[in-house]
């Protein structure tokens, strides 16, 4: 339950501050944060009744009712500006994360730090951030049970403009030469090659344009890997 991914996100949060965990599910992150004395209090928000019940059970099991406050609601809406110094929005698709931020911009901008962990479409999240007054301050990758997880650390503020390939790779993962990045990009290339193969066999209108789009992605990602590994490809 206290996985490497949970641990990584917990250690990226500002110690000693109140944190909001949005989409808490079983409330594993809040419990980890309190049990390890990283923060004094967590406001855990959950939209759906089943996961909220699971969260209640976890909090009760650890006797943390006074330190983890559960709120039922949508995204950041149950949080007032100033109630939390940081928030975590993890384990959801990139489009859902973007809409949670977009629907509560005032609250999001009041936070000192936001940890985002999209399960898909991280490029859409980076693109949203750079055009809506948020800046990436760190990025991490976690490999757990053969799956890569991207973790974005964000603050309100002006951002640099990144091109499409950097939005996909993660500009900070690239600039700090994250040790898991080459493996992660290899996995993406493998996935895109499968798409290219199926587009090759498709007679649908636009299949060739799509194929060219993915071939270009593969070309650029291979260049990035060779740069990371410092070998010509």
Ligand X SMILES: C[S@@+](CC[C@H](N)C(=O)[O-])C[C@H]1O[C@@H](n2cnc3c(N)ncnc32)[C@H](O)[C@@H]1O
Decide if 46 contacts 21 (C-beta within 8 A). Answer: no
Q: Rule CB under 6 A: is residue 23 a binding residue for ligand X?
A: yes
Q: Rule CB under 6 A: is residue 208 a binding residue for ligand X?
A: no
Q: Rule CB under 6 A: is residue 96 a binding residue for ligand X?
A: yes
Cβ neighbour number for residue 206 with a 10 Å cutoff: 10
Q: Rule CB under 6 A: is residue 69 a binding residue for ligand X?
A: no
CA distance 128 to 68: 30
Burial of 97 (C-beta count, 10 Å sphere; 0-12/13-18/19+): buried
Q: How far is the CB of 26 from ligand X (least distance, A)?
A: 7
Q: Rule CB under 6 A: is residue 91 a binding residue for ligand X?
A: yes
Which residues of the chain form beta strands (DSSP E)?
A: 19-22, 42-46, 68-72, 86-93, 113-120, 134-144, 147-156
Is 139 or 225 the residue whose CB approaches ligand X more closely? 139
Q: Rule CB under 6 A: is residue 7 a binding residue for ligand X?
A: no
Q: How far is CA 206 from CA 164, 190, 192, 219, in A?
A: 21, 22, 16, 20
Range in contact with ligand X (rule: CB under 6 A) among 40-48, 150-158, 173-181, 200-208: 40-48
CA distance 35 to 134: 30
Q: Rule CB under 6 A: is residue 79 a binding residue for ligand X?
A: no
Range in contact with ligand X (rule: CB under 6 A) among 47-55, 57-65, 127-135, 224-232: 47-55
Q: Rule CB under 6 A: is residue 92 a binding residue for ligand X?
A: yes
Element (H, E) at 116: strand 113-120
Range in contact with ligand X (rule: CB under 6 A) among 39-47, 129-137, 186-194, 204-212: 39-47
Residues 6 or more apart whose CB falls under 8 angstroms from that of 177 comprise 228
Q: Rule CB under 6 A: is residue 45 a binding residue for ligand X?
A: yes
# residues near ligand X by CB under 6 A:
16
Residues that bind ligand X (CB under 6 A): 22-25, 45-48, 51, 74-75, 90-92, 96, 100
């Amino acid at each position: 339950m206290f996985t490497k991914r949970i641990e990584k996100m917990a250690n990226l949060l500002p110690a000693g501050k109140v944190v909001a965990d949005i989409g808490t599910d079983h409330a594993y992150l809040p419990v980890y944060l309190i049990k390890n004395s990283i923060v004094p209090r967590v406001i855990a928000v959950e939209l759906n009744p089943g996961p909220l019940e699971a969260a209640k059970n976890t909090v009760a099991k650890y006797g943390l009712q006074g330190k983890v406050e559960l709120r039922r609601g949508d995204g950041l809406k149950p949080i007032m500006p100033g109630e939390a110094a940081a928030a975590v929005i993890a384990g959801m698709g990139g489009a859902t994360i973007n809409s949670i931020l977009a629907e509560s911009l005032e609250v999001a901008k009041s936070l000192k730090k936001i940890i985002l962990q999209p399960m898909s479409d991280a490029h859409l999240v980076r693109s949203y951030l750079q055009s809506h007054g948020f800046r990436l301050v760190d990025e991490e990758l976690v490999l757990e049970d053969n799956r890569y997880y991207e973790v974005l650390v964000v603050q309100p503020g002006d951002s640099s403009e990144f091109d499409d390939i950097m939005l996909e790779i993660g500009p900070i993962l690239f600039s700090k030469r994250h040790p898991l990045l080459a493996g992660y990009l290899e996995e993406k290339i493998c996935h895109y090659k499968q798409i290219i193969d199926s587009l090759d066999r498709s007679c649908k209108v636009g299949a060739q344009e799509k194929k060219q789009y993915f071939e270009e992605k593969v070309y650029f990602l291979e260049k990035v890997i060779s740069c990371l590994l410092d070998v010509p490809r």
